[in-house]
Amino acid sequence: MNTAISGGIGGAWYLSLAAVLFAIGAFGLLIRRNVLVMFMCIELMLNAANLTFVTFANMLHDIGGQVLVFFVLVVAAAEVVVGLGIVVAIFRRRANATADDLHLMKG
Amino acid sequence: MLQVTYLIILLPLVGFAIQVVAGRRIGDPVAGWIATGFVAAAFAVTVGVFFDLLTLGGADRHYVQNLWTWIPVGGLQVHASLYVDPLSVTMLLFVTGISTLIHLYSIGYMKGDREFAKFFLYLNLFVASMVILVLGSNMLVTFVGWEGVGTCSYFLIAFWFTREEAASAGKKAFIYNRIGDVGFLAAIFLTFESTGTLEYQQVFADIPHMSGGTITAICLLLLVAVMGKSAQIPLFPWLADAMEGPTPVSALIHAATMVTAGVYLLCRVNPLLHASPDAAFTVACIGAATAFVAATIACAQQDIKKVLAYSTVSQLGYMFLAIGCGAYEAAIFLMVVHAFFKALLFLGSGSVIHGLHDEQDLKRMGNLRIYMPLTFFTFAVGWLAIAGIPPLSGFWAKGDVLDNAWAAHPALWVVGVVTAFLTAYYMSRLTGLAFFGKDRWNKAPIDPESTAARHAEHPNADGSLPEPHESKPIMTIPLIILAVLAAFAGVLATSNPHLSLDNWVAPVFTGTLYNDHEVSRTIWKLSTLDAIIAIIGVTVGLRLWIRRAERPTLESSFLQHSWYLNELYDLLIGRPGARLAQFSSTVIDARIIDGAVNGVAGLTRRSGSVVRRVQTGYVRNYALWIVVGVVAVFAFMLTRLWWG
């Protein structure tokens, strides 16, 4: 049951947008080697998921989806702190590092 | 005094504790005097208990002292309680009495030993354990004492443990005793299983409700136990090796007291034995066989203590013969007088060994009666007593046993009489070699590598020994006391009610003694025969061995190697055991157990080396796999949606 949202744009559009954003993020993550860019891609995927949550919350009249977005935002913020910390630490040690140079954890 | 029976255990234990804490500091000889004092006090308490018991009427002479409840577990109520009756008091009197004498003797014998205090520590612990064994009113308390004396025996045999022979002799004694203990434990389990109690008196009260098979099984298991402790066939070879211990130990533990614990235990459970004629007959046969075999071996031994050791085994065999014939009183009588004369003989041999500067080889003695007159005189009393010359104590005791064997089964009697002849013969051989004949101690040893020759510590340059000397009074006084006892203990066989041992211990026993020395023609004939055989044995032994010390025909290596029993056990048990151990070590342990352990490790390592390739270290690689996974899950869900 596709309830119309303001402006007459259907929920499917929002979901399609989220899917596109997610695909861009995932694709970027796989093909880019710059750590910072990869990081941005992850953020993109997270926000795509958030958009899906909000859309479904609206479509299903369930506030739970919007609440969950707040949790995701908090977790994302924490992740940014830790992730950027690591990135900064890496850049302090080696000037021009790409993700593929960091394979010390190889088994 | 009956209320303080526990003191008989406590006093030697206090002595033991003092030696443990301060023995080394007190040192030689005060530590010895302290130990002797505590054992003497225990003897005094025993005498008091004895007189208290005398004041009671014949049938009421028993007293149970309940110290505390030891194991209160549901149906199993074990009390740490002591049982005083004529049997236990008789045993206690000679255990504590002879212990006191031997403690006294040890002060002289062990003088100058580096571990003087440790020796008395073990002796005191031994006396305490032995008293626990004797006084226990249930099987478990007896078992505690049983293990205690076994442990002390091990400690004392291996007392000079720096010598290889002593250390391994200690182990040998311990292992043989352990075999017997398995029998004792099994008997305890079986008794509890069938009666629900371990108290002797309650078990005896239950006998009518027990099946004959159960009783026989319990008796035979106990027989296994006493075979180990009292050195009966087939578990006797340890006693000869036990002579590696100091001579006072041989006298106290391996002649007078501990080895008679088996005899005591069988007497304690006499109602059970009485209810099982099959088990009793087995006991008699084993006793007779042991008496004979050990006597033959004693005829060919060269070490003075080995002769006495096999003689002890043989006399213990007599006691078992008596028990098997239901003549418990005769067994107890022989046990008491044997304690006297065998302790005397061992202490006398100790005096000889001491006087000859640690030489034990009979072939290197000779004519010692000139040099050690007091030792010779007392030893001679023991020799004639064990040989069965009337009117010394051995004649009466052995006579009782043989009369009862005659009544039970003539074949047993024949074996007993032959053994009696052998006993007189080998003891005379020993006496002849040691005290008569030519002096041989001043000659160089024929075989410098013989075990006994190596024991000697201060030989002259050519290997001969310095002149022997008589021992100090502290060693000869116990000899004199024991000689008097060995000579006159025969009065216990009289029918006078105040002196008669039979009369005193009879209430404990279910069976009755055969004819009891009443004036009957058979008894007179048998006794005369005993005396004649003893005299013939003594004459033959002396005539053969005073003139010559070497008679190879009479000392066949078969007898010298104790019927090759050690070799037989080695062949049947030792070697297969070693092979089994070898097999376990090389095949089971090295291949199977180690193989399993190493196999698990190898498997983990190999699978790890394969799986580790997944861990590439490239973040994007992991991300790719996540995406692939997600796509796969989606694909699966879609297929379910469309076709499912």
CB contact A29 to B (< 8 Å): yes
pTM for the model stands at 0.80
The per-residue pLDDT for range B308-365, each reduced to its tens digit, is 999 999 999 999 999 999 889 899 999 999 999 999 999 999 999 888 888 888 888 8
Q: How many residues does chain A have?
A: 107
Alpha helices by DSSP H, listed for A1-107, are 11-31, 35-60, 64-93
Is the pLDDT confidence value at B452 over 60? no
Q: Is the pLDDT confidence value at B210 over 70? A: yes
State both tokens at B61: 């002479």
Note the pLDDT of residue B557: 86
pLDDT digits (tens, 9 = 90+) for B166-186: 999 999 999 999 999 999 999
Q: Give the pLDDT of residue A6.
A: 52
Question: A103: which chain B residues are within 8 Å (Cβ-Cβ)?
Answer: 616-618
Question: What is the pLDDT, as a whole number, of residue B512?
Answer: 62
Residue B451: pLDDT over 50: no
Q: Is B456 a residue whose pLDDT tops 60?
A: no
Is the predicted pLDDT of residue A7 greater than 60, yes or no?
no
Share of chain B above pLDDT 90, in %: 59
CA angle B509, B81, B332 (to 5 degrees): 30
Q: For residue B525, what pLDDT is reported?
A: 85
Mutation to test the B interface, candidates A22, A24, A100, most B Cβ within 10 Å? A100
Task: Say yes or no: B624 contacts chain A, CB-CB below 8 A.
Answer: yes
> Quick check: B619 and A30 CB within 8 A?
no
B489: tokens are 């203990």
Q: How confident is the model at residue B463 (pLDDT cuts 50, 70, 90)?
A: low
Question: Of the given ranges (B112-121, B441-450, B625-634), which has the lowest mean pLDDT?
Answer: B441-450
Mean pLDDT of B108-119: 88
φ/ψ (deg, to 5) at B138: -140, 170
Question: What angle separates helix B164-195 from helix B139-157, to the nearest 10 degrees?
Answer: 170
| φ, ψ (nearest 5 deg) of residue A22 | -60, -45
CB contact under 8 A, B620 and A102: no
Residue A96 sits at the chain B interface (C-beta within 8 Å): no
B612 touches chain A (CB under 8 A): yes
Asked if B557 has any chain A CB less than 8 Å from its own CB, the reply is no
Tens-place pLDDT, residues B248-273: 999 998 888 999 999 999 999 999 99
Domain ranges of chain A: 11-96
Residue B292 confidence class, pLDDT cut points 50, 70, 90:
very high
Predicted pLDDT of residue A1: 43
- Taking only the tens place, the pLDDT of each residue in B376-388 is 999 999 999 999 9
CA A6 to chain B, closest CA, distance in angstroms equals 31
CB atoms A30 and B613 under 8 Å: no
Torsion sign (Cα): B411, B414, B418, B423: positive
The chain A residue lying nearest B623, using CA atoms, is A30
B422 touches B386 (CB < 8 A): no
* Euclidean distance between CA atoms B152 and B165, whole angstroms: 18
pLDDT at B211 over 80: yes
Contact B195, B210 (CB under 8 A): yes
Residues of chain A positioned with their CB less than 8 A from the CB of B611: 107
Among A38, A99, A107, whose Cβ lies nearest the Cβ of B612?
A: A107
What does the pLDDT read at residue A70? 94
Tell me whether residues B620 and A33 touch, CB distance under 8 A. Answer: yes
Given the cut 0.90, state whether the ipTM is greater than it.
no
Average model confidence (pLDDT) across chain B: 89
Q: What is the pLDDT of residue B349?
A: 93
Judged by CB atoms closer than 8 Å, whether chains meet at B617 and A105 is answered as yes
Instruction: Extract the tokens encoding A56.
Output: 């479904």
Interchain CB contact of A87 with B (< 8 Å)? no
State percent of chain A over pLDDT 70: 92
The C-alpha atoms of residue B265 and residue B288 are separated, in whole angstroms, by 18
B-interface mutation test, from A33, A36, A98, A103, most B Cβ less than 10 A away: A103
Distance set, CA B478 to CA B153, B266, B271, B374 (Å): 22, 30, 37, 12
As a whole number, mean pLDDT of residues B268-296 equals: 93
B300-313: average pLDDT = 93
Least confident segment among B270-274, B433-437, B438-442: B438-442
Report how many Cβ contacts below 8 Å link chain A to chain B.
Answer: 34
Residues of A in contact with B627 (CB under 8 A): 26, 30
For B35-95, give the DSSP string. Answer: HHHHHHHHHHHHHHHHHHHHHS-GGG--EEEEEEEEEEETTEEEEEEEEE-HHHHHHHHHH
Query: pLDDT (tens digit, 9 = 90+) per residue, B476-525?
Result: 999 999 999 999 988 888 777 777 887 788 888 876 665 554 557 788 88
Residue B336, classed as helix, strand or coil, is helix
Task: Read off the DSSP letter of residue A10.
Answer: -
Q: Is the pLDDT of residue B123 over 50?
A: yes
Q: How confident is the model at residue A4 (pLDDT cuts 50, 70, 90)?
A: very low
A51 Cα to chain B: minimum distance (Å): 19
The Cα of A107 is separated from the nearest Cα of chain B by a number of Å equal to: 5
Angle at B380 between CA B376 and CA B383, to 5 degrees: 135
Q: Is B605 on the interface with A (CB under 8 A)?
A: no
User: What's the CATH number for A11-96?
Assistant: 1.10.287.3510
The pLDDT > 70 percentage for chain B reads: 95
